[in-house]
């Protein structure tokens, strides 16, 4: 939704400068590109920091017991698989064309009238 002044003037973005100089545009995009390249160069350092934080949290922290977390996850998955198998057994039918009644279906075969 636009404001009332934008609706009446017909332009949706009144703050856009159309008379921006070419040199200003080049500098703006050069700075953005340089910032992007610096961020790309820092990614390995950021990844190492994340890996070190995870190592400290999971391995060096004595308060966390991963066995209980893993056991809970494994038992939840086992019960979920058993429930899915029971559902599949209930839905396993050997239906034929005569067993099914089709509703709201148009006959599109080429039959002469």
Per-residue pLDDT of the chain (113 residues; tens, 9 = 90+): 556 665 566 556 555 555 678 888 999 999 999 999 999 999 999 999 999 998 988 888 877 777 887 888 888 777 777 766 665 555 556 777 777 777 887 777 776 65
0.75 exceeded by pTM: no
How wide is the angle at C-alpha 93 spanned by C-alphas 89 and 95, nearest 5°? 170
Residue 5 confidence (pLDDT): 61
Ranges of each domain in the chain: 23-80
Residue 50 confidence (pLDDT): 94
């Amino acid at each position: 939704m636009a404001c009332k002044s934008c609706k009446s003037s017909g332009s949706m973005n009144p703050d856009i400068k159309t008379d921006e100089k070419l040199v200003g545009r080049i500098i703006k995009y050069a700075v953005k590109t340089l910032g992007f390249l610096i961020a790309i160069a820092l990614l390995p350092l950021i990844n190492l920091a994340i890996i070190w934080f995870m190592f400290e949290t999971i391995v060096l922290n004595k308060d966390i017991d991963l066995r209980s977390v893993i056991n809970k996850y494994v038992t939840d998955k086992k019960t979920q698989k058993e429930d899915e198998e029971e559902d599949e057994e209930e839905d396993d039918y050997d239906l034929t064309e005569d067993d099914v009644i089709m509703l709201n279906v148009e006959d599109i075969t080429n039959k002469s009238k």
